[in-house]
Amino acid sequence: MKNNWRDGNDLTLLINGEEFYPRVFESLRSAQTEILLETFIIKDDQIGQTLQRELIAAAQRGVKVDITIDGYGSGDLSEGFTAALMAAGVRLHIFNPQPKRWGVHLNVFRRLHRKLIVIDQKLAFIGGINFCFDHISNSGPDAKQDYAVAVQGPVVADIHQTCMLLLVTAAGYNEKNNPIQHTTTTESPAAGSVRAIAAGSVRAIVVQRDNAQHRRDIERQYLLAARTAQKRLVIANAYFFPGYRLLRELRRAARRKVEVILILQGQSDVPLACALSRLLYNYLLRADITIYEYCKRQFHGKVAVMDEHWATIGSSNLDPLSLSLNLEANLVIEDEAFNQQLYQNLITLAEHSCEKLTLKNTLRGLWWRAPLIFLSFHFLRKFPTILGWLPGHAHHLQLATRAEPNP
């Protein structure tokens, strides 16, 4: 599937779970014909339970409900939680389902990391927010700062098609190569597409990353933004360890006097990821790139703004997992008002909730970190290729469906 730029959309920026969840749950209550939902994590907490209730209620009033969750990210959901969904007629699809071995989930790579929702083919949500209580800003030490967007307009058809294509592709693979008891009754991706009715004035395109024809699509959008930036480029990303091409373009942008700002994690739920990001600081700071670490709580966002019109928001980090292994989806946006709204939020975070890094601090211990930087960077560049050689991580999709469809 190759999506194109769509004119005539309306977007609403949703910051953290406080803005995201009420809008999603209200929309689920209003659904009349169809709900498609993909997410990496659902937890059996108050947010996950509210989502469960709304999906069950929708299915019971005759709405066709298909949800797809990741077998690693949502692998700890109880049988009771999923059984209640299936009993109501919700079709529950599991991406790469694998049992625990030695008490842990080993299907950590090539995950369904996208966060997509399409309701009645008229309203969509895309971003980085999972369905768990820690996306509420006052939820405690694990609280996260994150972003999503509500979308209406012609680009909703492309988000809908993205969801449908995963279901159709995975069902086709299972039938041919790994027969399982499934009851997927999805239509072709083009069937029932939403009419291209303008809802606003925003231009947007859906960009995905998969392990087939769209391996580098999201990375290319970041490269293009870095190459064409004239005034400013602000990247706020939870896990930052991109390839050399993007690092080089960021340095080039800074050297032609573009204001390049990175907002990264200061306290991470994955300490190794934070440590790897810090290995790059000296290289970037020497090119006059400004780096902030967000210290108020964990930063989970995957957003960027360029100049005064370009922005992106979605699920993709700038690390080897997102850029080379996971299934990801971002919305790229051309709109001055949206750009300014997101830019102001990010700059406010930088000024009031971040620590600004200096070259002096990053030079400490450089003598022992330099070889570690070299080895880590080049190993991680080859890591996706090495992983692809393993039979357990081949490039196909695995999708299990556990529930009967609505009659």
Half-sphere exposure of 330 (CA within 13 A, CB side): 27
Give bridge partners of residue 121 from the DSSP assignment: none
Alpha-helix residue ranges (DSSP H) falling in 325-399: 336-353, 359-363, 366-388
117: closest CA among 34, 54, 182?
34
Q: Which two tokens stand for residue 393?
A: 């991580």
The total of other beta-carbon atoms located within 10 Å of residue 303's CB is 25
Q: What distance in Å separates the CA atoms of residue 105 and residue 101, rounded to the nearest whole number? A: 6
Q: Which two tokens stand for residue 61?
A: 């009033």
Point out the residues that are catalytic. Answer: 113, 115, 120, 300, 302, 307
Q: What distance in Å separates the CA atoms of residue 340 and residue 379, rounded to the nearest whole number? A: 38
One-character DSSP codes across 282-338: HHHHTTT-EEEEE-SSEE--EEEEETTTEEEEES--BSHHHHHTSBEEEEEEE-HHH
11: closest CA among 256, 245, 204?
204
* Cα–Cα distance list, 211 to 143, 220, 319 (Å): 31, 15, 15
Q: What distance in Å separates the CA atoms of residue 143 and residue 9, rounded to the nearest whole number? A: 31
- The DSSP 8-state label assigned to residue 393 in this structure reads G
Q: How many helices (H) and strands (E) does the chain have?
A: 12, 18
The total of other beta-carbon atoms located within 10 Å of residue 159's CB is 28
CA angle 148, 219, 160 (to 5 degrees): 45
Q: Which residues contact 371 (CB under 8 A, 6 or more apart)?
A: none
| Residue 358 exposed, middle or buried by CB count within 10 Å (0-12, 13-18, 19+) | exposed
225 SS3 class: helix
Q: Do 116 and 125 meet the contact criterion of CB atoms below 8 Å apart?
A: yes
